[in-house]
Amino acid sequence: MKDSYGRLVIGVDAGGTTTVAWICESNGETSGRPLGRGQAGPGNPRVVGFSQATQAITAAIFAALEEAKLTAASVASVCLCVAGAGRAEEQEQLKVWAESQGIADRVTVTDDAEPILAAASPDSIGIALISGTGSLALGRNADGHTARVGGWGYLFGDEGSGYSIAMAGLRAAARAADGRAAKTLLVSGFMERLGALTPMGLIECVYGAALSREQLAACSTVVFDVAPNDDVAQEILNAAGTELSGMVMTLAQQLGFESSEFCLGLAGGVLLNQPRFRSDVIGKIGMRTEGVVDVPCPVAGACMIASRSMIRN
């Protein structure tokens, strides 16, 4: 099977919930349709640790190779786009590991925003904005300068993310249940979502069940569901949209983008699955819709980066 294709590349998108790998045939600076796909568990080393993350990455890669009926010896280049690997030392650790595994002749490691930009823009110039479990914005200008905003993690960052929205909703529900703040449909919404019989029952549902960050982030749908009929929920979403738009506008200023004349790639479950919220964020930025690209499969961008690396190095 190795001789049936040209130069093959693997792209990996390793996130806090799932790790996805595609194997594709390189086509210059792009890549063709996936010949094989693989999926495994969480691949964010900050969330699950380095060992478990690399196990997930390996499992996803070999599942893709198996579907394509190929071996790692067939692969010329691999790009690992890993959530939680935004620093150079983290990327170097993953690169050393991947090279030791003999996954491909050439190894590239980036954070999870790079493939969004690669998939959205043919020259990787513009800004990528992610709002899923966490949030992050990354940009690159024509001079090759890059900058990022956000990505500080859920303890003191991730504004505008699913986790941040869910936690703001739960706090508003608790204050309303106490009588400390305005009544809100968020109380009954979270009770129904989490199976609590009373507002106080939310304590056991959240703490007793030891919900993961990803599970809590998924509860952000409660805020979106009640927002059309609830001022409190709407205020939470308005604040979240302001945070995300602020990330993009800050990057645009830092990178010298004039007005809104740049490509904006959007990714993450919050932005892609909540069309009203997506439109609100775009409106706050002042973007023209033709300059906005949704990226539902970041792994495609990882394949593009793997393909381009063979030309540029």
Report how far residue 40's alpha carbon sits from residue 20's, in angstroms, rounded to the nearest whole number: 7
- Sign of the C-alpha dihedral, residues 210, 211, 212, 217? negative
CA-based R_g, the chain, Å? 21
Report how far residue 268's alpha carbon sits from residue 134's, in angstroms, rounded to the nearest whole number: 9
Is residue 158 within 8 A of residue 134, CB to CB? The reply is yes
List the beta bridge partners of residue 232: none
Task: Give Dmax (Cα) for the chain.
Answer: 70
List the beta bridge partners of residue 135: 131
Q: What is the pLDDT of residue 75?
A: 87
Report how far residue 103's alpha carbon sits from residue 68's, in angstroms, rounded to the nearest whole number: 15
CATH number belonging to domain 162-294: 3.30.420.40
Report how far residue 78's alpha carbon sits from residue 306's, in angstroms, rounded to the nearest whole number: 5
- Sign of the C-alpha dihedral, residues 113, 59, 108, 299? negative
Q: What angle do CA 177, 183, 185 make, to 5 degrees?
A: 90
Domain 2-112 identical in fold to domain 162-294: yes
Q: What is the pLDDT of residue 303?
A: 92
Report how far residue 242's alpha carbon sits from residue 275's, in angstroms, rounded to the nearest whole number: 16
Edge to edge, the sheet with strand 292-294 lists 146-150, 135-140, 126-131, 264-267, 292-294
Report how far residue 27's alpha carbon sits from residue 14's, in angstroms, rounded to the nearest whole number: 23
Q: For the chain, which residues make up each domain, given as ranges?
A: 2-112, 162-294
Residues of the chain falling short of pLDDT 70: 1-6, 28-32, 289, 311-313
Buried b (16+ CB within 10 A) or exposed e, 178-193: eeeeeebbbbebbbeb
In order of 29, 71, 125, 127, the CA distances from 255 in angstroms are 24, 41, 10, 10
Q: What is the pLDDT of residue 312?
A: 60
CATH architecture of the domain 2-112 equals 2-Layer Sandwich (3.30)
List the beta bridge partners of residue 265: 128, 293
Environment class of 307 (CB within 10 Å of its CB; exposed 0-12, middle 13-18, buried 19+): buried
Q: What is the pLDDT of residue 1?
A: 38
Locus of tokens 């070999």:
62
